[in-house]
Amino acid sequence: MKHQSHAEISKRLKRAEGHLRSVIVMIEDGKPCVELAQQLHAVEAAVAKAKKELIHDHIEHCLEDGHDTKNALREMKQLTKYL
């Protein structure tokens, strides 16, 4: 199921992908570990933010579309594994 926010989330993940590629180059070039850790932290934060947005959007979509309560609750429980 595609949600309205998916296009923006995809853009965010593509930026994170590019950032991760640059970190790989940094590792190969022997950059200092502190710089690498800082950049990996930024990539990790970007992916976490995209995940959070995806989950929040799904919760809103699920509630707005009037899914039956039992299925909505089941999906919410599944989503909590990824928070």
Q: How does the average pLDDT of the chain come out, rounded?
A: 88
pTM given for the model: 0.79
Domain residue limits, the chain: 6-80
Gap between the Cα atoms of 75 and 61, Å rounded: 12
Domain covering 6-80 in this structure, CATH number: 1.20.58.1000
Gap between the Cα atoms of 38 and 25, Å rounded: 14
The three-class DSSP label of residue 40 is: helix
pLDDT at 1 over 80: no
pLDDT at 79 over 90: no
Q: What is the pLDDT of residue 70?
A: 81
**11-53 pLDDT, tens per residue?**
999 999 999 999 999 999 999 999 999 999 999 999 999 999 9
